[in-house]
Structure 1
Amino acid sequence: MSSAQQNFSAGQSHGQTQAKAEDWVQSTKESASAAADRAHAAANTTGQTAERNKEEAAGFLQQTGEQVKNMAQGAVESVKHTLGMDKNQN
């Protein structure tokens, strides 16, 4: 094999290796970008779920508070009625 042919083969191998390395770098960048997108979507979904759970908990607590208040009012009215202090009594 001549010196020119060896140089050509070496240059060709170098070019192919460089192209493969560039493809690998591009593929890695795309994979990292896709992973970042998935992580962002997961974080967004988690945040939405947390907000929805927070709203549901607040509604539950408000409803429970109303029930306790109504029960306490009923107990007070019952005690007033028992003691004869009920203003609505005939």
Structure 2
Amino acid sequence: MSSTQFNAGENHGQTQKKTEEWIDSAKGTAQSAHDKTCDALGRTQEQAHRSQEESAGFLQQTGEKVANMAQGAVDGVKNTLGMGEKK
């Protein structure tokens, strides 16, 4: 075997090894990105759930306040007209 053939074979082996290293590195980077994306998605879903619960509670409280205000207005009109409990 000539030295040119030997060098070509050696270069091919080194190139193949380097390519495999790059592939492994790319796989590791892709896995890391996947893990970070999954973590971010989980946090986003948790925050959305908390926000939904907070919104529901706020809307319920607001609805109760509006109903109480409306009842107070009705009672006020009844009392003004002499139809209420306070005669």
TM-score, with length taken from structure 1: 0.85
Q: 1:12 aligns with which of 6, 10, 13?
A: 10
Any idea what SS the aligned residue of 2:84 has?
A: coil
- Confirm or deny that 1:28 pairs with 2:32: no
Alignment-derived partner of residue 71 in structure 2: 73
Alignment-derived partner of residue 38 in structure 1: 36
Aligned pair count? 87
Identity percentage of aligned residues: 53
C-alpha RMSD of the superposition: 1.6
Instruction: Tell me the distance in 2 between the aligned counterparts of 1:73 and 1:9.
Output: 95
Instruction: Tell me the distance in 2 between the aligned counterparts of 1:86 and 1:24.
Output: 85
Shift of residue 36 of structure 1? 1.1
Shift of residue 42 of structure 1? 1.6
TM-score, with length taken from structure 2: 0.87
